[in-house]
Amino acid sequence: MKIIIQRCKQANVKIDEQCVGQIDKGYVLLVGVAQEDTLEDIDYAVKKITNMRLFSDDNGKMNIALQDIGGSILSISQFTLLADTKKGNRPSFTKAAAPQKAKEFYDIFNTKLREQGLVVETGQFGADMQVALVNDGPVSIILDTKDNKRPL
């Protein structure tokens, strides 16, 4: 899985001009599921996101987790994070999971975040969405679950 974590002051997602999800202070997550991803990837991502300290303490250091500030998550599915741009000018998306697997993993991912006590708003899987946010900082972190896999 590849996930872009963006710290925000507020964010929303619209489909056909209708707001389907919005949050105040928290994270916007752009979530891409790869073909080779397993349930272990979901667990790793949830643990990292839940415990990541991206909010500033009194000394201005990023030292406070999302739950500690009462923040929320706006989670958006985004297969384009798996784009392969090595050849030519048109990206290839062959590394992205098939839609059925990607939707299943995306839903499990959001459920597991909620099980950690987080408020999670979402867009609609596969829809044409317009995402708006006020990036705080800006702070944007790339989480790639393959970084958790160590060669034998």
List b or e across 87-110, with b for residues whose CB sees 16 or more CB atoms inside 10 angstroms.
eeeeeeeeebbeeeebeebbeebb
CA distances for 141 relative to 34, 48, 127, 131, angstroms:
18, 11, 24, 17
Which of 78, 105, 122, 145 is catalytic? The answer is 78
Catalytic choice (6, 55, 79, 109): 79
Verify whether residue 55 is a known catalytic residue.
Answer: no
- Whether residue 99 is preceded by a cis peptide bond, meaning omega within 30 degrees of 0, is no
Catalytic option among 35, 38, 67, 80? 80
Is 67 an annotated catalytic residue? no
Query: Which of 26, 48, 29 is CA-nearest to residue 146?
Result: 48
CA 39 to CA 17: how far, in whole Å?
Answer: 34
User: Which residues are the active-site residues?
Assistant: 78-80
